[in-house]
Structure 1
């Protein structure tokens, strides 16, 4: 009898231990999905329409910041995502803007604010040290290659590009301008009659004499990518009516693909070394007589994944990558629909890639990043502002519907990733953006403003008293200080006077239309404590923070300034921006607050998030979910009030 009792007790005890292990280990998995540039108001509206079931689930079963989360200072991409993965302010992790300067380096040297410059501890590194498997997926999370970030992988970077975007036509495209700042190619071709013998080999029928040309795309590895393209007439109506573009192999033995106007065609190739890569061709225009042919050709791309075995594997099984390219639409070479479609295609590709990594490697911690809302909003957000010069009431609904579909696709892709990760029953999910978006239509040139008050010398910048490094609506101005900068010209005794001169020049800056250009300026010392809605944020970093920090007033921003001109109109299809200081943007212009939603197995439903919740709170909360330490440099707070307590199951005899 005693033996039976002991046996039952032993079995019961081990059952409870196993039950506890299942109950309290699997749900500890945690994933962050970043929607770069997502605006909380749009998310709420589209969810209310029933178009975003993942967000709707979060609202009902998790926690959603209805007013949005507080952005960090500066609210730009490269400063914000590191704050998510480290839990630290930009002043702590050192990436104080997308572009900045390191004091002590030549005053003319800018620093790109990528994760390779991170000065803080990453939560992904902490998780790996604690024995958890991680997957860090997307460029802004960690430096490339992964071992430089202290990670074992898997890791996905920004992607591999092997050519520029290209537009090809056989006629002059009205209104198109190949601006010098565009990173793309454009060339014209002449269509010639195809040899009928070759056409017969392809078994392709054409009721008008087929036309052909060789599409040549220069690549970064030296050898052009060449594809033979045919223009054919598939309509048996005794009328010249070209309607199909077909690609054929190099031997003219078979058709490898075909498209009609508005359709996309993937073309594959092998890089030196054998890796699979490719590009997409969209037939933008083909007149019946073929006098007007226009193609959009995406950049040739391949996967960029660590470790190498996974990259090799995924390069073979995934579709060809594509990116939402801004250049062709800015130059007027393609229509809005083409740019919009490329955004959706890119989201779908990253969904497949991230899903493959998750299912193949079974990580416990995932950081995944989608940037397509940001790219789309930079081009199109101003078209939604009734006060913007680019606004059109007739086009508003069509354009707004494109935003709706981009957000909807991201919700769908996020759901797919979460299901691959275990879903809400087995894991926990944060959905966040790094900033919102603001409409703008004027570009302010900070260095030109400094030049006009005698502080900046454009002909010899190293002799300037001060130089500005800007991104978006935020700028940092660095004083060329003797003893700190290699070519210093300002005495330490004059530091405060020059600093005041800069701030006075910014605060007194009035555009020709009577509007203030600058919303707010801070001294370097003041960046230690910047108040946002009652919460203190820091941008202070001894090495990378400017001696003056300033923010543009809407509708101004600082990117793409024209040398020698102090204020200019925005360039085409660059209508939305971020980087503004929270609390300075009029409601009709947009919102700089962030999307912030969290839910899952260990998250209490509808507890509510504090009004001051911010990106820096994510890493500490992830640490609490996993039961491990926070990153050593974290400034944020764990949102313990939304977490179920992971109590031990009591065992008694």
Structure 2
């Protein structure tokens, strides 16, 4: 017995020792695997569960073409998501297919008629008749417009998904995503307006609002050698302290040429020319921009400060310039487009001044961005390329286009940096929402693909065979560059969260757009159209966004001081609708010999059977929301309300009597048309741990919110109209 007992104890000890040793080896192996060089098998990092990225205006048609042609890589960005996850052939957005409505539809899972954001600019019926509101700063899900005046709605008609997520303990961050801005919404034009949507409905765990204008627009400058004189000793010493060397005599502007005020602080911009090439020639190649009140400071500089802007024309690259002392923490940038070595020709641009709104509810997040990413960068500015900003008259088209491209690159990089900062500061967040403005801006400016488009906006003859083919080729390259910039942004997000051994992102990344894009050839002046049809502007007014228009009546009992009776409303509505439906274009240069109806869709607000019904003027349906027009209409492809030039440029072959309504536009791309048109399709890409690999024929943008909520195990709000695309 004793011998047996000893043998049993020995075997038991041996197996315990073996098991312990094996466990230690597993720990050692796991530790080596985690910290060694085998990155693909490392433990999964803490990353957001879901990342939603919107590429404004991206279209399936162009992306498919660019992937097929190798303009976009099949193994990076969108190409990687396509190879690893789900792609939809068509993503139907909402009516109208505009930016503000499209993004709020993505965020709420509800149509524009339900979420009450019906355009980029529209009229709140609780406002005085002549006042409008920006669709990006309007109450999501509506408000109460009762007889006692506007107030917060007790039951929103649509709810941003961040409300339901946060109510269920989920964490959300938003990097410049429309609707998440931390602002209290009031009614424009109404003195002492109550808050109709409080900031807490528009605030998430880390909220960065989209930037805004600081009151100083872009300007171009043309200088010559006579504008420069030998720099004073003080400036020379400042450059020396900044360790800047010039091999030719340092010259400085001899007069003030650019003074402006931001937040009560006046800035007096001065320029120094230096020669950094040691070639024994007078060869000025760099301009130094500084505020005369600050001088040329040597640095180092902590963000958002930048110190002077040093710009070399040969680099075709702007330099940032923080406006020291501005309470809004605003900044600008300088770009040198032409710099003759002898300063005989000097052309440069100062970009507009901008900042991130310092809304009280999100101030800590705004300061985090200012101090770690920098002040708000310049969005690509169409006012420069269209010569609407002063001083650009003598710049060539190519110079202005180079400026625009610089802004495209810098702004996409900046927005991406803001998004990545939001992610890295909140690595285990449940949902990160990121907005990228391109390719929308470039498509508006450069989508020159229709033979009816005038390649010279001032010359109506520059259509068809007279189009400038070199300009068309340049513009095509700019659109491609915009998609490449947006695609790099996607890849940077993928790089940040990493991929697993199969190449799938470690986060569920969903990339969508708010709408597609189409070329247009004709501008439509809706105000002149109404005037020509004898509608009284005190009773009828139009508010347009792209090719969509809301036409409002100054209704008694609805608008403050309304003058249109219920009976007159019925008549006016029919008259306006009939006028829109009967408006045709017979010019064969644009209609190809047919009569083209200029308005594709015309919708009217429902009228109750009883004209004394309290809902009169507030009735809604699937396309008309509370603050939509009493008549709402969409133009036919090829026509747009924007782009009207001053003075108006008459189209080729038009009767002069029509030139007040139809004219040659000064830019080329538009959206906002019928969302069912193929050109208006948005994109949908999704890849990550919870997505398989498949091709879907069709999804809807209102499906995005319930899909995200499904991934995060949260029940969508009852107002959601879409459905999850994953089970």
| CA-CA distance at 1:422 after TM superposition | 5.5
Q: Would you say the 8 A contact 2:236–2:250 is kept in 1? A: no
**What does 1:83-102 align with in structure 2 at a 5 Å threshold?**
83-102=105-124
The range that moved more, 430-439 or 138-147, is: 138-147
Counterpart of 2:584 (choices 494, 510, 517) is: 510
1:246 aligns with: 288
TM-score scaled by length of structure 1: 0.81
2:203 aligns with: 151
Q: Would you say the 8 A contact 1:115–1:142 is kept in 2? A: no
Q: Distance in 2 between matches of 1:496 and 1:482?
A: 13
**What does 1:229-378 align with in structure 2 at a 5 Å threshold?**
229-234=271-276, 240-247=282-289, 250-251=294-295, 256=308, 258-261=310-313, 262-272=316-326, 277-304=330-357, 307-323=362-378, 324-331=380-387, 333=392, 335-362=400-427, 363-378=429-444
**What does 1:425-444 align with in structure 2 at a 5 Å threshold?**
425-444=505-524
Q: Distance in 2 between matches of 1:70 and 1:498?
A: 33
Q: Which digits, 9 at most, give the CA deviation of each residue in 1:120-141, with x for residues without a partner?
A: 2110111111111110111513
TM-score scaled by length of structure 2: 0.73
Alpha-carbon RMSD across the aligned residues, in angstroms, is 3.4
| CA-CA distance at 1:284 after TM superposition | 1.2
Q: Distance in 1 between matches of 2:336 and 2:513?
A: 34
| CA-CA distance at 1:468 after TM superposition | 1.7
Unaligned runs of 5+ in 2: 1-7, 14-18, 24-42, 142-157, 185-198, 299-306, 393-398, 456-466, 588-594, 608-620, 649-658
| CA-CA distance at 1:60 after TM superposition | 2.1
Q: Distance in 1 between matches of 2:124 and 2:322?
A: 42
**What does 1:35-434 align with in structure 2 at a 5 Å threshold?**
35-50=55-70, 51-52=72-73, 53-66=76-89, 68-119=90-141, 120-145=158-183, 147-170=199-222, 191-195=227-231, 197-198=233-234, 200-201=236-237, 202-203=239-240, 204-207=245-248, 210-213=251-254, 216-234=258-276, 240-247=282-289, 250-251=294-295, 256=308, 258-261=310-313, 262-272=316-326, 277-304=330-357, 307-323=362-378, 324-331=380-387, 333=392, 335-362=400-427, 363-381=429-447, 383-390=448-455, 391-421=467-497, 423=499, 424-434=504-514
| CA-CA distance at 1:229 after TM superposition | 1.7
Local SS of the residue matching 1:350:
helix
- Answer yes or no: is 1:598 the counterpart of 2:697: no
Unaligned runs of 5+ in 1: 12-22, 172-187, 527-536, 644-653
1:455 aligns with: 535
2:36 aligns with: none
Q: Which digits, 9 at most, give the CA deviation of each residue in 1:70-122, with x for residues without a partner?
A: 12001111111000011001111111111222335433222321254111211
Local SS of the residue matching 1:434:
coil
- Answer yes or no: is 1:567 the counterpart of 2:647: no
| CA-CA distance at 1:158 after TM superposition | 1.5
- Answer yes or no: is 1:577 the counterpart of 2:658: no
Q: Distance in 2 between matches of 1:320 and 1:284?
A: 23
Counterpart of 2:700 (choices 614, 625, 633) is: 614
Q: Which digits, 9 at most, give the CA deviation of each residue in 1:514-549, with x for residues without a partner?
A: 5432122122249xxxxxxxxxx93222x2122222
Q: Distance in 2 between matches of 1:217 and 1:138?
A: 31
Q: Distance in 1 between matches of 2:433 and 2:171?
A: 12
Q: Distance in 2 between matches of 1:217 and 1:47?
A: 47
Q: Which digits, 9 at most, give the CA deviation of each residue in 1:350-405, with x for residues without a partner?
A: 11121011101222101110112111111111x23333222532233332222222
Q: Distance in 1 between matches of 2:720 and 2:44?
A: 25
Relative to structure 1, is the Cα distance of residues 85 and 405 closer, same or farther in structure 2, using a 3 angstrom cutoff?
A: same
Which has the higher Rg, Structure 1 or Structure 2? Answer: 2
Q: Would you say the 8 A contact 1:444–1:561 is kept in 2? A: yes
Local SS of the residue matching 2:128:
coil
1:20 aligns with: none
Local SS of the residue matching 1:372:
coil
**What does 1:475-486 align with in structure 2 at a 5 Å threshold?**
475-486=549-560
Q: Would you say the 8 A contact 1:436–1:594 is kept in 2? A: yes
| CA-CA distance at 1:594 after TM superposition | 0.7
Local SS of the residue matching 2:381:
coil
Q: Which digits, 9 at most, give the CA deviation of each residue in 1:9-59, with x for residues without a partner?
A: xx9xxxxxxxxxxx9998981121001111211111222234242222222
| CA-CA distance at 1:621 after TM superposition | 0.8
